Structure 1
Amino acid sequence: MLAFIRRHVPIISLTGFAVLGVATLYLFTAVPTFTAKALLIVNSKGSLGDAAAVSTVVESQIGIMKSESIASAVIEKLGLAQDPEFATGQGSGMISRLLGWSKPETEASAARYAVERFERKLSAKRVGPTYLVEITFDSRDPDRAAQILNAVAEKYVTRQMDKAGLQDEKWVKDRLIELSTQALAAQKALEDYSKNRKEPADSAATIDKLAAAAESSKNAYDNFRRVLRKTEATQQQSSPVFEASIVAGASPPLRASSPKPRNVLGIAIGGGLLLGIAIAMLRDLLDRGIRASGLEHRLSTEKGRIERPLPDAVRPDHQSEASAKATSVRLTGSG
C-alpha cells in the first residue's frame, strides 16, 4: 500500500488539491443561509388521556403552523411577495417562462410562488414527548429570518385564540380521511388474505402481521376521532381547548447554518484523496492491461516463428539422412 501511494503521489495530490479548490470556490460563491429558531408550547385544557392522543394534538398544531393560511397571512403582512428571495422573475423562473414551461406571471401566481418558497423554508417539529414545538425559518438575511419567524408565531397564537378548535382546519379533515382510508385498506387486506390463503403453515405469520397492522390503523383513527369529539364538546362549553404561547421568540442568528466551512472542507479533503486513489488504481489497471496485451502479442509472434515450417533442405530428418550417408565408410584392416 505504501509503495502504491509513493508511486502515485502526484496523481493523488493533484486530485485532492483540485477538489479542495472547487470546494473553496463554492464557499466563496455560495450564498449563506441563516436559520432562526423559536419555541412554542401548546397547552391542552382537556383530559386527553394516553400518549397517542397527545401526539395527535401536537401534530395537528404543527400542521396548522405550517398551513397555507398562516403562510399567506405572514406574506401579506410583511410584503414578501415583492421580496427577491420569495418572488419569481430570476433564475429558473425566468428560464422556464422563456422556454414556455410556465404561464406568464400574474399577481395570483406570484403569491402562489411566494407561498411555495415560504413553506419550503419553514419547518416545525415536536420537542420530545412534550407540548413544545420548535419552529425554524431559513433566509439569506438573519434579521429577516427572525422577523418572519416571529410573525409566524404571533399569527399562529392569534389564530388559536380566535378559533379554539381543530374541526374547521383542512389539515385535520385530510388527516381524518387519510386515517380512515388506511384503516379500511388494512382490514380489507386481512380479509382478502384470510379468504385466499392456501398454505396454513406459512400464512399464520402473515395473518398475524396483517391483523396487527389493521388494529394499529383502527386505533390511530379512533384516537383521532376521540380528540375531535373532546374538542367539539369543549367548544360547546365556550371554553378554549388549546392555549398556545411563545416560550422563546426568534432572534437573529449569529452564524450561517449553511454552508459550513469545516464540513465542506473536510468532505472535500477526504473525497479528493479517495478520488485520487481511485484514479491511481484505475491507471494501474489500465497499465497492467496494456502490458498484458503487449506481452501476449510478443508471445504470439514468437510462437508463430517457432511453428513456421522449415524448408526440406534443413529439416532434421533430411539432415540426419545426409549425415548418415556421409559417414557410412567401411573400415578394413589396420591401415
Structure 2
Amino acid sequence: MLQTNSTDDWVGRDNMPPDFRPGPVISLAEVLAVLAFMRRHLPIMLVTCVAGLGIAVLFLIAVVPTFTAKAELIVNSKMTLADAAAVSTVVESQIAIIKSESIANAVIEKLGLAQDPEFATGQGSGMISRLLGWSKPKTEANAARYAVEPFERKLSAKRVGPTYLVEITFDSRNPERAAQILNAVAEKYITHQLDKTSLQDEKWVADRLNELNTQALAAETALKDYDRNKTKDTADAADTRDKLAAAAESSKTAYDSFRHVVRKAEATQQQSSPVFDASLVTGASSPLRASWPKPRIVLGIAIVGSLLLGLAAGMLRDLSERFRTIGQKAGPSAEDGRIERPLPDGIRPDHQFDASARTKPVRLPSSG
C-alpha cells in the first residue's frame, strides 16, 4: 500500500507557481489599527485639507487663464510616395515650416504683436540677463525679434494619426486673439508653402518677364510707327527700318528665351521635389473655456496633497510620542525629588535582619 509523505510532495509552498501563491492577507487588526489612526488624527487631516482647499481657491482666483485655439490643415503631396516613412517625413517637414521663424516673423509683423503686452513683456530670465549685460536691451528695432520666442513657445503643431492632417494650436490670454493669430499662421503657411528660395526668386522672375515683355512691345510698336509714318524710300530710311526691325526681333527673342527657361526650370523642380497643396480644413474659432487652469484638476490635487500631508503629520506625531514614552521608561525614577540608589550589602535592611538573627541567643524554657 502506497503512503504519501508531506515532504515528498511534487510541489512545495515556496516552489508554487506565482499564480497559485497566496497573496498578502490584511488582518482585521491591521484594518482596525488604520481606522483608529485616522480617527485619532482626524482633526489634523481636516485642518490640512481646509488649508489646501483655501490655497487652491486663491490660486484659481489669482492666476490668469489661458485659452487654446485649434485649427486643422491638410498637406497633400502631388507625388506618389512609396511607404509610410516617406509620408511621415513629408508631413514632419511641413510641420517644421509651420513652426519656423519666418512664419512667426510674418505673423508678428502683420498683426503688430511686437507691441502686444503679452509678447512684449520680458521673462524673468531675460530681465536678469539684460541686467547682467548678457543680452542687448530691448528697443523698437529689435522688438519683433524678442516677440518671436514667446510666439514660438505658444504655437504648437502635430500630426493627426497616420494622415496628412496637421493640428495647430495657439495659447493666449485672450480667446479672440488666439483664434486671430492661429488663422494668420494658417494663412501665411498656405501662402508660403513653397521653399524659401522659390519664394525669394518668384518676384524677381515675374519682374524680369514683365520688363522683357515691355521692351519687346516697345520695339515692335516703334517699328510699326516708322512703317506707318515713313515718306521717302531712301537708303537712310531703309537702314533705320532695318535697325528697328532687328531691335524688335532681338527683344522678342530675349523674351521668348527667358520664358522658355522659366518653364523648363519649373518642370525640373516639379520632377525633382514634391509639390505640396495645403488647405485649411477647420479654421480657428474663439475657445469658450480656458484650457488652463482646470478647476477640477487643481482642487483634486489640493485635496489629495493636503490629505497626504495630514497623514504625514499624524505619523510624525505618533513617532514623537513613542520616542517620548521610551525616553521616560529608560530614565531614572524619582519620588519626592529624591533619587533611589542601591545600598551596600552591609547596611541593607534584609542583611541587618539576618545578622541579628544569627547573633541573638536562643533561650530554652526551664523544666521546673
TM-score by length of 2: 0.65
Counterpart of 1:85 (choices 118, 140, 148) is 118
- Give 1:144 shift: 0.3
- Structure 2 segments unaligned to the other structure (5+ residues): 1-33, 200-265
- Give 1:233 shift: 8.5
Q: How many angstroms apart in 1 are the aligned matches of 2:172 and 2:282?
A: 19
Give the aligned partner of residue 40 of structure 1. 73
Give the aligned partner of residue 143 of structure 2. 110
Q: How many angstroms apart in 1 are the aligned matches of 2:67 and 2:171?
A: 6
Query: Is the Cα contact below 8 Å between 1:35 and 1:137 reproduced in 2?
Result: yes
Number of equivalenced pairs: 267
Q: How many angstroms apart in 2 are the aligned matches of 1:129 and 1:324?
A: 109
- Give 1:269 shift: 1.5
- For the pair 1:295 / 2:329, whether they are aligned, the reply is yes
State how 1:138-217 maps to structure 2 within 5 Å: 138-161=171-194
State the identity as a percent: 69
Q: Relative to 1, partners in 2 of residues 1:246 and 1:234: Cα closer, same or farther, differing over 3 Å?
A: farther
- Structure 1 segments unaligned to the other structure (5+ residues): 167-231
- Give 1:330 shift: 5.1
Q: Relative to 1, partners in 2 of residues 1:234 and 1:16: Cα closer, same or farther, differing over 3 Å?
A: farther
Give the aligned partner of residue 300 of structure 2. 266
Give the aligned partner of residue 276 of structure 1. 310
- For the pair 1:246 / 2:280, whether they are aligned, the reply is yes
Q: Deviations over 1:217-249 (max 9, x none)?
A: xxxxxxxxxxxxxxx996254996111110011
Q: How many angstroms apart in 2 are the aligned matches of 1:117 and 1:95?
A: 17
Counterpart of 1:323 (choices 357, 363, 366) is 357
The structure, 1 or 2, with the larger RCO (C-alpha pairs under 8 Å, 6+ apart) is: 1
Q: How many angstroms apart in 1 are the aligned matches of 2:156 and 2:273?
A: 30
Question: Which residue identity does 1:243 align to in structure 2?
Answer: D
Question: Which residue identity does 1:148 align to in structure 2?
Answer: I
1:39 match: secondary structure: strand
Give the aligned partner of residue 11 of structure 1. 44
Q: Relative to 1, partners in 2 of residues 1:161 and 1:100: Cα closer, same or farther, differing over 3 Å?
A: closer
Q: Relative to 1, partners in 2 of residues 1:8 and 1:313: Cα closer, same or farther, differing over 3 Å?
A: closer
Question: Which residue identity does 1:334 align to in structure 2?
Answer: S
- For the pair 1:22 / 2:55, whether they are aligned, the reply is yes
Give the aligned partner of residue 176 of structure 1. none
Q: Relative to 1, partners in 2 of residues 1:23 and 1:56: Cα closer, same or farther, differing over 3 Å?
A: same
- Give 1:96 shift: 5.1
Q: Relative to 1, partners in 2 of residues 1:89 and 1:66: Cα closer, same or farther, differing over 3 Å?
A: closer
Q: How many angstroms apart in 2 are the aligned matches of 1:111 and 1:300?
A: 81
- Give 1:110 shift: 2.9
1:160 match: secondary structure: coil
Query: Is the Cα contact below 8 Å between 1:88 and 1:94 reproduced in 2?
Result: no
Q: Relative to 1, partners in 2 of residues 1:157 and 1:306: Cα closer, same or farther, differing over 3 Å?
A: same
Q: How many angstroms apart in 1 are the aligned matches of 2:352 and 2:277?
A: 117
Q: How many angstroms apart in 2 are the aligned matches of 1:3 and 1:279?
A: 15
Query: Is the Cα contact below 8 Å between 1:161 and 1:243 reproduced in 2?
Result: no
Structure with the bigger percentage of helix? 1
1:152 match: secondary structure: helix
- Give 1:312 shift: 2.4
Question: Which residue identity does 2:168 align to in structure 1?
Answer: I
Query: Is the Cα contact below 8 Å between 2:72 and 2:283 reproduced in 1?
Result: yes
Question: Which residue identity does 1:290 align to in structure 2?
Answer: R
